[in-house]
Structure 1
Amino acid sequence: MEKSAEKREARISARYKNVLKSLDNTWHILDDERVPIVREVLDWLDHPDQKLKIIHIAGTNGKSSTGAMMGAILQANGYSYGHFSSPFMLSAREQIRINDAMISKNDFVIYYDRLVACFKANGVSSNHLTHFEYFTVISLLYFVDQQVDFVLFEAGLGGLRDATNAIDTPLLTVFTKISIDHQNLIGRNLTEIAENKAAIIKKGTWVIDYAGQDITARNVLKAKTAAVGARWFDYQQDQIIIANTTPSGLDLIVNGTPGYFLNMSGAFQVHNFSIVLKIKAALTAMGYTFIQEKTREGLANVSLLGRMNYHKTTNILVDAAHNVDGINGLVSAISAWHLKIKPTLILGVLKDKDYHEMLDTIIPVVQRVITVTPNNKTRALSAEELAAEILTNYPNVDVEIANDASAAVSLAMRVRESSQALIVVTGSFYTLSAIQTDNRI
């Protein structure tokens, strides 16, 4: 019996692997036809998006942290939730989760086959959707069948041409901080980037904005909200005070009430938490119930792979600070800890990011840098190129090159002054995905 189960599992794994290999990984970022195509597929499938209470989340930084916090609070208060997010770290299935559990390989293949049958019935081929679009649509079908109470639905890139924009009016449309990123793809300046992201606002949705949003971006969001007939959710900002900050997390006082512990480090997470409290307030106004003690419990249990993950036994911090804004948040956190010894940095970046400014921000707070090549053949800046860049512009910093992620961790543990010296692993998600396979982290 055990052997037949193993054989079945092996068959499912092989099929799942073959399905993933067959999917189109091409980016169609500037293709205006992609969202209408996904919308038509949802029509063929009897609009699964309309059967869900969707909280659509867009922004430059903080989408996944906001989603993880909100999910933990929902679950602690007795609500089930589906979470669609990207990119992934170790498995593509991380993009589709219910109450933090990934979709199984078997379920993914079942929904894939259902989609292919739908395509055949409508006279199109199995490559009618791209990799990201398949995951977007499958997530909606899965969440409907699993009858989740809410769906936290993160936009992938921008908003206008993002596959997630194919959904009908969501319950809430949420914006985290909007800043300069992907200028060559979604906008040349903050106004254009905000306009791209604002395209997800639909008639009848409630719009929730990050309290510290740049006024330029906020004006764009407000104008779009008014233009389409959505509702701007006005809310008195909560007072959140950091009582203590360590690599393990934040002790917070919320509206004068102490005893909140956020199981994610970095003062910038307070900004994401403020958005979460605003989402909770909107849901409360809609008639949903949240208990303070349960909310506190959820906050203490929140976790998110690759975002400010601190490993106490090895004194290693892993954070996907993959752009300038992310690096600023990471550096602020490191500075707030008043470390006695400057950290050792393991860094890998993509060449289409503003890595010059990222380096200007982080190099002054570290002792040395070990460069690695992210696991992305087309977009990675090689470890050698990154090391050369650092040596040219920051001659007082020690620089080493590692052949792979495991070698980088071994080297960092060997060269740091003592186990009291923090090792920080950051940069691209493609760097972190390789690092996370190291069982020392």
Structure 2
Amino acid sequence: MDKSVDKRIEARYKNVIRHLDRTWHILDDTRVPLLKNVLSWLAHPDRDLKIIHVAGTNGKSSTVAMMTAIFQANGYTCGHFSSPSILSEREQIGINNTLITPKDFLRYYDEVVKCLKQHGLNFDQLTYFEYFTLISLLYFKAEHVDFVMFEAGLGGLRDATNAIDAPLMAVFTKISLDHQNIIGRNLTEIAEDESAIIKKGTVVINYAGQDMTVSRVLKQRTVTVGATLFEHTPDQIIIANTTPAGMDLIINGQSGYFLSMSGAFQAHNFSIVLQIKAALMTMGYDFTPEKSRDGLANVSMLGRMNYHADSNILFDAAHNVDGMNGLVSALNAWHLKIKPTLILGVLKDKDYHEMLDIIVPVVQRVITVTPNNKTRALHAEELAAEIIASYPNVDVEIASDATAAISLAMRVRESSQALIVVTGSFYTLSALQKDSRI
């Protein structure tokens, strides 16, 4: 293709992304019905896809990444829809870890806009996330993928992804307290919201370590709508060794497995992946241990225990209490000789006080940054003041931008052997990885 054409496509793509409505209609009961209508106008692309719909509080994207890698290693094509993005919005839509191109994105964006106009609606009546949801389904159908790993954005009931008809599977990672002001005040209410993705005829996969309160809600919904809960003897997963680069695992007594993602919580996510694979095998799909082992060793994803060995920096998007506990457990398991230097940026609508109580005691110093979210970010100065007030013995510095944060961390850490940890929010990672070129 002519380079001038490439540039025009890229320019138009960026312009479209820039003008998409970023509003989250999180309490609007009309959005999912609207999207159901749009899907019907688009000839129901979701009905032609084998969709594995993944919901939960933590671990969704990791589960999607692991299962996608195993599908690919076993010769299946797998579309993935996952959010949020870090370096490029196109990270949210891909096939076998290849991102959708700007040209393909625009092709299906134009198809959706044309459809809206034919039914008397304007392009701006759908939001950013709703467009990405619809575009992903059109793209996956056109590319004839074998499976789709389809990650819910926020909760289940009012999430745009819930507009699809009954998926092949409804998968639940660990459900815990988060977004209480949006999807539920307690575990029961949150589980009820998440459980809305369970539909008639769907096979339900539930994380084996799920809170009993949550499991009761999911089981009740399964029975009520006529779905099937997959019964599976829990796999025995033993972590034989763990480093920032990944973990050696023993699975049901078999050694030789390496997961290229670190943190004990990733082993819990992998237990969900093993359930998905077992359920698919009962449906007649083939997976060989050797190919699955290869897939496991080649899982890669930005922002979830993403370790850069050359600079000794760990990026992890721990953005709530549960995620921060998982990160700290991993740091403790590595028995680091020097306490890490922490680059931290959080959102003001999160329980960041408890997050600080978890992470600050295990680090040498904190460099605060402002996440890349104008409306929800807690400013670096405010975060620094909170830490200084509660932890007077911890060194705290403020970075004016991402590049300054990385440069400062590398300069003040004791040696290159001292780990730098970047965490607190996807928006923190987005700013750091885009601006610092790490």
TM-score range, shorter chain: over 0.9
SS of alignment partner, residue 395 of structure 1: coil
The reply on whether 1:293 has 2:290 as its aligned counterpart is: yes
* Aligned ranges 1:254-403 → 2 under 5 Å: 254-403=251-400
Q: TM-score, normalised by structure 1?
A: 0.98
Q: Pick the aligned partner of 2:246 from 234, 239, 249.
A: 249
Shift of 1:68: 0.2
Which amino acid counterpart does residue 296 of structure 2 have in structure 1?
Answer: L
The CA distance in 2 between the partners of 1:173 and 1:108, in whole Å, is 26
Q: Which amino acid aligns with 1:245?
A: T
Conserved 8 A contact 1:26-1:130 = yes
Between the aligned partners of 1:314 and 1:252, the Cα distance in structure 2 is 26
Work out whether 1:17 is the aligned partner of 2:14.
yes
Deviations 1:290-331 (A, max 9, x none): 000000000000011111011111111110001111000000
Cα deviation 1:109-148 (Å, max 9, x = unaligned): 1111111111111111112211100000000000000000
The answer for the alignment partner of 1:412 in structure 2 is: 409
- Aligned-residue CA RMSD in angstroms? 0.8
Aligned residue pairs total 438
Map of 1:107 onto structure 2: 104
Tell me the CA shift for residue 14 of structure 1.
1.2
CA contact (8 A) 2:406 2:436 kept: no
Q: Deviation of residue 210 (structure 1)?
A: 0.2
Separation of aligned partners in 1, 2:134 and 2:262: 33
2:14 and 2:405 map into 1 onto residues whose CA distance is 29
Paired residue for 1:59? 56
Q: In 2, are the aligned partners of 1:370 and 1:399 still within 8 Å (CA)?
A: yes
The Cα of 1:16 is off from its aligned counterpart by: 0.8
Which position in structure 2 is the counterpart of 1:32? Answer: 29
2:131 matched to 1:131? no
Counterpart pick for 2:181 among 184, 189, 196: 184
CA distance in 1, matches of 2:396, 2:163: 46
Equivalent residue number for residue 196 of structure 2: 199
Gaps in structure 1 of 5+ consecutive residues: none
Q: Residue 210 of structure 2 aligns to a residue in which SS?
A: coil
Deviations 1:6-40 (A, max 9, x none): 21111111111121122111110000000000000
- C-alpha displacement at 1:440, in angstroms? 5.7
Instruction: Note the 1:35-50 alignment, pairs <5 A.
Output: 35-50=32-47
Cα deviation 1:263-283 (Å, max 9, x = unaligned): 001111000000000000000
Compute the displacement of 1:434 (Å): 1.2
* Deviations, residues 313-350 of structure 1 (Å, cap 9, x unaligned): 11111100011110000000000000111000000000
Equivalent-residue separation in structure 1 for 2:109 and 2:312 (angstroms): 41
Distance 2:13 2:310 in 1: 35
* Mapped contact 1:38–1:166 kept (Cα < 8 A): yes
1:208-227 map, 5 Å: 208-227=205-224
Instruction: Tell me if structure 2 keeps the 8 A contact 1:55–1:171.
Output: yes
Do 2:402 and 2:436's aligned partners in 1 also have CA atoms closer than 8 Å? no
Structure 2 SS opposite 1:174: strand
Any idea what SS the aligned residue of 2:58 has? coil
Q: Gapped runs of 5+ residues in structure 2?
A: none
TM-score, structure 2 as length reference: 0.99
Q: Deviations over 1:35-85 (max 9, x none)?
A: 000000000011000000000000000000000000000000000000001
Inter-partner Cα distance in structure 1 for 2:353 and 2:87: 28
CA distance in 1, matches of 2:365, 2:125: 47
What secondary structure does 2:182 align onto?
Answer: helix
Alignment deviations for residues 359-414 of structure 1 (CA, whole Å, 9 cap, x no partner): 00001110000000001110000000000000000111000000011100000000
Is it true that 1:6 corresponds to 2:39 in the alignment? no
In 2, distance between residues paired with 1:373 and 1:439? Answer: 14
Q: By how many angstroms is 1:198 displaced? A: 0.3
What is the SS of the residue equivalent to 1:265? coil
Aligned mates of 1:369, 1:432 — CA distance in 2: 15
Q: Tell whether the 8 Å contact from 1:314 to 1:440 is kept in structure 2 after alignment.
A: no
Q: Percent identity?
A: 74
Distance 1:439 1:407, change over 3 A: closer
Distance in 1, Cα, partners of 2:88 & 2:290: 33
Instruction: Please give the per-residue CA displacement for 1:84-120, whole angstroms capped at 9, x wherever unaligned.
Output: 0111101111111111011111111111111111111
Distance 1:65 1:109 in 2: 28
Residue aligning to 2:227: 230
Q: CA deviation at 1:437?
A: 2.2
Name the structure 2 match of 1:73: 70
Give 1:438 deviation, angstroms.
Answer: 4.8
Q: Distance in 1 between matches of 2:125 and 2:338?
A: 54
1 CA distance for matches of 2:268 and 2:374?
34
Does the aligned pair in 1 maintain the 2:324–2:359 contact within 8 Å? yes
Question: How far apart, CA to CA, are the structure 1 residues paired with 2:76 and 2:437?
Answer: 34
AA in 1 matched with 2:280 = L
- Following the alignment from structure 1 to structure 2, what is the Cα–Cα distance between the partners of residues 218 and 145? 36
Partner Cα separation in structure 2 for residue 235 and residue 115 of structure 1: 40
